[in-house]
């Protein structure tokens, strides 16, 4: 059962796992943009500028080791009104096989990283599969964190075509959706641009056309 849940990281069979925003948030026409694997000094500042221009908020699930290297960039994320979630300290390929004690240490180290001022959620998704998200639940709960996954993702760490990526994210888009993007490890377009930038710009156009308001996960639960 545990392994099956791990292969289905959005599963809530073993307890709460945020895949959509609360009903009250959806009724306010809210959606959530979540951005994983950063911060990346070559990508994150441009994302912040884009979000500022469009008056949109996001939740950045930062890897603790990267946050330690770029603590000022983490503080800038928070200063601009976004929030930071816990994406473990190292985002190891073998996270699934660490065991509960080591998983908790990974989450604790990431929590203690300088510059991480807002830390309401954890997202623990192994790159190589395995039962990381459900197995990490006790450690996350012990740190006062809720586990968060997503409603829809575009696979922007693999796909280099912005139109394909946007199509995946926009298909059946609805209020209350949680969208997954990446600033760290995202692919590049044919002209070398981080794919998350043109895709997010078009997503924000779509949100505006449909009257959707992007908020942080904490704002959605207020």
220 has pLDDT over 80:
yes
Q: Please choose, from the candidates 6, 14, 43, 221, the residue with its C-alpha nearest in 3D space to the C-alpha of residue 121.
A: 221
- The predicted pLDDT at position 7 comes to 38
Please provide the average confidence, as pLDDT, over all residues in the chain. Answer: 84
| Per-residue pLDDT tens digits for 187-212 | 999 999 999 999 999 999 999 999 99
Total of domains in the chain: 1
Instruction: Assign residue 78 the CATH number of its domain.
Output: 3.20.20.370
Domain that holds residue 160: 2-9+17-220
7 neighbors 126 (Cβ within 8 angstroms): no
Structure-model confidence comparison of residues 111 and 155, the more confident one: 155
């Amino acid at each position: 059962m545990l392994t099956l849940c791990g292969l289905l990281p959005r599963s809530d069979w073993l307890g709460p796992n945020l895949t959509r925003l609360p009903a009250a948030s959806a009724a306010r026409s809210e959606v959530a943009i979540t951005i994983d694997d950063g911060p990346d000094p070559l990508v994150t500042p441009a994302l912040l500028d884009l979000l500022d221009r469009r008056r949109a908020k996001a939740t950045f699930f930062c890897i603790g080791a990267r946050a330690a290297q770029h603590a000022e960039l983490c503080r800038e994320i928070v200063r601009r009104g976004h929030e930071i979630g816990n994406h473990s300290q190292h985002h190891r390929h073998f996270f699934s096989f660490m065991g509960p004690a080591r998983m908790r240490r990974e989450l604790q180290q990431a929590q203690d990283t300088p510059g991480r001022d807002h830390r309401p959620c954890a997202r623990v998704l192994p790159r190589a599969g395995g039962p990381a998200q459900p197995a990490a639940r006790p450690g996350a709960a012990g740190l006062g964190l809720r586990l968060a996954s997503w409603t829809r993702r575009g696979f922007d760490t693999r796909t280099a075509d912005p139109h394909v990526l946007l199509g995946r994210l926009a298909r059946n888009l609805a209020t209350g959706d949680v969208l997954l993007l990446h600033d760290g490890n995202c692919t590049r377009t044919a002209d070398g641009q981080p794919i998350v930038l043109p895709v997010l710009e078009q997503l924000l156009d779509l949100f505006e056309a449909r009257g959707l308001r992007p908020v942080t996960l904490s704002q959605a639960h207020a």
